[in-house]
Amino acid sequence: LALAHNGNLTNARDLRARLLARGTGLSSESDSELLAQLLALPVSILEHLAFRDNPLTPSRAPSSTPTPD
């Protein structure tokens, strides 16, 4: 698995705090490390860490299934 990341996570501070609160060890301040740690988590934990006010959380993400007109 390779991870390429170019940019900054706008919610990195909140994600870092949530990961640290659940005991995830972080060894750097990089956003790429946050992404790698998030990829290693089970989906059930990711759902718990999700920001409920984010319009792209799974419950409100756009459907990939076309709807009839």
CA–CA separation, 25 vs 20, rounded Å? 7
Q: pLDDT digit string (tens) for 11-61?
A: 889 889 988 988 888 999 888 999 899 888 888 777 777 655 554 444 444
- The pLDDT score that the predictor gives to residue 58 is 47
Per-residue pLDDT at 64 exceeds 70 = no
- The pLDDT score that the predictor gives to residue 27 is 92
Neighbour count for residue 33 (Cβ, 10 Å)? 18
Per-residue pLDDT at 69 exceeds 80 = no
> What are residue 55's phi and psi, to 5 degrees?
-65, -10
Which pTM does this prediction carry?
A: 0.60
- The pLDDT score that the predictor gives to residue 56 is 47
